[in-house]
Amino acid sequence: MVGKMNIFKDMEVLFIGPGCKYITKCVQDFWELSAGIRKDLGERGYYLDQYLSKVIEVLARIDLATAGEIADYICWKVLNDCYILCGTKAKKEKSEFFNVSKKYIENHHTNFINRHSKVQFYAGNILINHLDIFAEKAKHIYMKNILSGVDYPVSNKMYERISNIIGEERMERLNDEMCEAFAFGPIMVSATQQIVIRGLEMFCYVDAESSKKLYHFMLEENI
């Protein structure tokens, strides 16, 4: 049996897309369901208008670019801490992750002479070895930035008022349809992927002393 010579050939895990026709149908179904509920509310149709205005405007701010920017922000903070720990002369401010980086560096000695090589090597390893910490922080920042715009009192009040008229089952279905239509992509997958990619990017740094890229040293026992 011949294995794949190039991992990017037919590598669907990277390039596979969502079921576009299914998403289009979900969006259409959501508008139809919303229109039906609004009609059934009669004179109180404005309840739905107020509810949707609060929810949809927040959903419209959920984007992958923001997740990537937050992930990058965390990565640069870790890199900055590593420069401090490896003896930079520039004045740099420690981040909240400083102790995580400090502990890792203290427990993992390297023989790099070039300071930049040492910093890039440490930062890449710290990002990947403590991925859970950084992903959780990215999640916290994202939720704080995006969900802070949710007017919970008004949203909850409108949800209850509408449910009392048409039944909570239909409102639950409306929310489910909304998620299927507009929030089907897991944001944290993008943020975590970005952190790992930044770590890998650091491993591609070329050590000036050996002219080797840092990931080559990952294969050696004595670094």
Write down the pLDDT at residue 116.
95
Write down the pLDDT at residue 1.
46
pLDDT average per 10 residues of sequence, the chain (223 residues)? 60 71 93 96 95 88 86 97 88 93 95 94 97 95 80 88 95 94 84 96 95 92 60
Record the pTM.
0.81
Write down the pLDDT at residue 2.
52
pLDDT digits (tens, 9 = 90+) for 84-104: 999 877 778 999 999 999 999
Round to whole Å and give the CA distance between 112 and 120: 11
Write down the pLDDT at residue 14.
66
Tell me the two tokens of residue 147.
């969900």
